Chain A
Amino acid sequence: MTDRPWRAVISGIGELKPERKTDGINTMDLLLRVSAEAARDAGLAPGEIDGLLVGPQVGETPQHVPATVAEYFGMRPTMSNVVDLGGASGPGMIWRAAAAIEMGMCEAVLCVLGNHRNPVPPRAPNRNPAREFDTPFGASGANTSYALLMQAHMARYGCAPEDYAAIAAGARANAQLNPMAIFHGKPADIGDILASPMVTSPLHLLEIVMPVAGGEAVIVTTPEKARKSPHRLVHLRGAGEKITHRAVSQAPSLTSGPLKPSIARALHQAGARIEDMDFLSLYDCYTIMVAATIEDAGLCTPGRFGQWLRENGGMGPEARQPINTHGGQLGFGQPDLAGGMTHVVEAVRQLRGAAEGRQIADCQTALVTGNGATMSEAVALVLGGSE
């Protein structure tokens, strides 16, 4: 694999306020609303957007998803696709958009994810090995998978429950700085986290993201077209991706994941070191995910994330290397697949200097991570503000 500089930039973002429940709306309405916001933010007319990346629309549109969305939006894209990498879908869209622009397939790509929370979601119609060989034993859902990862991590390194809970408490503290967050006005400390009900040991309820409705959109375009954006431009400096397995039983390691090579590759492309990152926008479906990512990023040796976090001064905007200033998904809420894109959107805000009430001083470069399935689908991005 060769590394060459990325030319495309991020010139627009859109975000919907998370909601616990919705009634009778369809995904397309949410997607269009948040996309229009991102296009306005980029200063682009709908006709100027010629690329479209969307997520899978389980239950609503099983096939022909890009065509269905493009038609609804009145778009005629020259590049479109479904990016189906779970929580890594958002960051995975960014480099794919940049690559398509690099090859001249299109000039401005809308990357959009969103979901409703209408009542009575249908049970999964899955017929695959995870369904056949995990579910019959009483192990369905991500909570079980991440509990197994966390138990293995605790057993191997002897980390304390308080170490993991500090991540949820840090996310909640950051959510107090973001009025959009679902847990704004609802702080929780380490004691509160560990006092919450056990769901799948060793995971407590408050170490698990809250599902919400929402939407996130990002516009990736050429430097020329990005001149229409009134904001500081955000460049893609490096990207890395790795997929290793689907079911947790098939994981090559239970304590280190595919983000490790993905982050290394993204940093290498950017010519940067992890210590250089002014902001860490780390995918946080569970506390264990952030713990494993801190270690896989090489910020500390395996098993030492708790101590590192204390030495880092927590996760807030004043920390040595601030983490998830929007509250992370643990504090902001997880709008399904759009949850992974919240980490891109917050990094863009920080690099623009537009993270009102939680701005990091002199933020020039950020690491964004995305993660899907059972710590098995990984994307890492290094983003940098324009000179």
Chain B
Amino acid sequence: MTVNLADLEVPGPTATALTQAFWAAAEEGKLLIQRCGACGEAVFYPRAICPHCWADALAWQEASGQGRLKSFSEIWKPGHPGWIPATPYLVGLVELAEGPTMLSHVLSGGQEAAVGAPLLFAPTRIGRRVLPCFEIKQD
């Protein structure tokens, strides 16, 4: 990757009234997830009611930012042409310490990507937005 991710012209998030808080927190360098006050489960992506028990008791919570790489791919031919200048780049499935899995952009920091690698939250400007990305933890 030779370009600055902030210079990319790529599609950003399509936030809704419900998810606005998540993206706004990311802009401030925070990772928010939801937790259900009824069943106690952690929830990602954000929803109106709990997908585990259907209780209307979800509340925002700042996540620890610790995660584990469940899988990854090095993208040589992106689905969106705006990403071509950044190829090859890494995306991965990030299992958060709280339980849920999210897809994210992964910064290798010079490390070799491997399934099971520990990750740290790394808010990163991509195009016009700061997004909740992750980087591979240094040995």
Give the complex CA separation of A33 and B16 in angstroms: 43
Interface residues of B in 66-108 (CB under 8 A from A): 70-80, 83, 86, 88-89, 91-93, 101-105
Interface residues of A in 119-150 (CB under 8 A from B): 127, 129, 131-141, 143-144, 147-149
Q: Which residues of B contact A202 (CB under 8 A)?
A: 73
A81 within 8 A of B: no
Interface residue from A132, A138, A200, A247 paired with B14 (Cβ < 8 Å)? A132
Q: Which residues of A contact B79 (CB under 8 A)?
A: 135, 139-141, 143-144
Give the complex CA separation of A149 and B10 in angstroms: 25
Quick check: A137 and B104 within 8 Å, CB to CB? Answer: yes
Contact mask A51-84 → B, CB, 8 Å, 1/0?
A: 0000000000000000000000000000000000
Give the complex CA separation of A201 and B72 in angstroms: 8
Quick check: B13 and A132 within 8 Å, CB to CB? Answer: yes
Q: Which residues of B contact A149 (CB under 8 A)?
A: 71
Give the complex CA separation of A156 and B79 in angstroms: 26
Contact mask A239-257 → B, CB, 8 Å, 1/0?
A: 0000000011110001000
Q: What is the interface of chain A mostly: helix, strand, loop, or mixed? A: helix
Give the complex CA separation of A151 and B75 in angstroms: 13
| Count class of interface residues, chain B | 35 or more
Quick check: B83 and A198 within 8 Å, CB to CB? Answer: no
Q: Known contacts A144-B73, A254-B70, A254-B71; decide if A151 and B103 are in contact (CB<8 Å).
A: no
Quick check: B13 and A248 within 8 Å, CB to CB? Answer: no
Interface residue from A138, A141, A143, A197 paired with B10 (Cβ < 8 Å)? A138
Quick check: B76 and A254 within 8 Å, CB to CB? Answer: no
CB distance from B60 to the nearest CB of A (A): 16
Interface residue from A137, A155, A198, A250 paired with B71 (Cβ < 8 Å)? A155
Output the nearest chain B residue to A199 by Cβ-Cβ distance. Answer: B77
Quick check: B76 and A152 within 8 Å, CB to CB? Answer: no
Q: Known contacts A133-B102, A140-B79, A144-B91; decide if A151 and B14 are in contact (CB<8 Å).
A: no
Interface residue from B12, B77, B92 paired with A136 (Cβ < 8 Å)? B12
Interface centre among B70, B77, B92 (most CB of A within 10 A): B77
Quick check: B72 and A137 within 8 Å, CB to CB? Answer: no
Interface residue from B45, B103, B116 paired with A137 (Cβ < 8 Å)? B103
Quick check: A197 and B91 within 8 Å, CB to CB? Answer: no
Q: Known contacts A138-B83, A199-B77; decide if A133 and B10 are in contact (CB<8 Å).
A: no
CB distance from A110 to the nearest CB of B (A): 34
Interface residue from A129, A197, A254 paired with B45 (Cβ < 8 Å)? A129
Quick check: B13 and A133 within 8 Å, CB to CB? Answer: yes
Give the complex CA separation of A132 and B12 in angstroms: 8
Quick check: A201 and B74 within 8 Å, CB to CB? Answer: yes
Q: Known contacts A138-B89, A148-B71, A248-B93; decide if A199 and B115 are in contact (CB<8 Å).
A: no
Quick check: B73 and A200 within 8 Å, CB to CB? Answer: yes
Give the complex CA separation of A148 and B104 in angstroms: 12
B119 within 8 A of A: no
Q: Which residues of B contact A250 (CB under 8 A)?
A: 101
Q: Which residues of A contact B19 (CB under 8 A)?
A: 132
B129 within 8 A of A: yes
Interface residues of B in 4-25 (CB under 8 A from A): 10-16, 19
CB distance from B46 to the nearest CB of A (A): 9
Quick check: A136 and B76 within 8 Å, CB to CB? Answer: no
CB distance from B7 to the nearest CB of A (A): 14
B36 within 8 A of A: no
Quick check: A201 and B105 within 8 Å, CB to CB? Answer: no
Quick check: B102 and A200 within 8 Å, CB to CB? Answer: no
Output the nearest chain A residue to B75 by Cβ-Cβ distance. Answer: A200
Q: Which residues of A contact B77 (CB under 8 A)?
A: 143, 197, 199-200
Q: Which residues of B contact A131 (CB under 8 A)?
A: 14
Interface residues of A in 138-175 (CB under 8 A from B): 138-141, 143-144, 147-149, 151-152, 155-156
Q: Which residues of A contact B78 (CB under 8 A)?
A: 138, 140
Interface residues of B in 45-70 (CB under 8 A from A): 45, 70
CB distance from B132 to the nearest CB of A (A): 9
Interface residues of B in 34-50 (CB under 8 A from A): 45
Output the nearest chain A residue to B132 by Cβ-Cβ distance. Answer: A137
B131 within 8 A of A: yes
Interface residue from A136, A152, A156, A201 paired with B129 (Cβ < 8 Å)? A136
Q: Which residues of A contact B129 (CB under 8 A)?
A: 136
Give the complex CA separation of A254 and B93 in angstroms: 10
Interface centre among B10, B13, B73, B133 (most CB of A within 10 A): B73
Taking Cβ atoms with an 8 Å cutoff, the residues of A that contact B are 127, 129, 131-141, 143-144, 147-149, 151-152, 155-156, 197-203, 247-250, 254
Can you list 9 A-B pairs with a CB-CB distance of less than 8 A? A133-B45, A135-B79, A139-B75, A148-B91, A148-B92, A152-B115, A201-B74, A201-B75, A247-B103
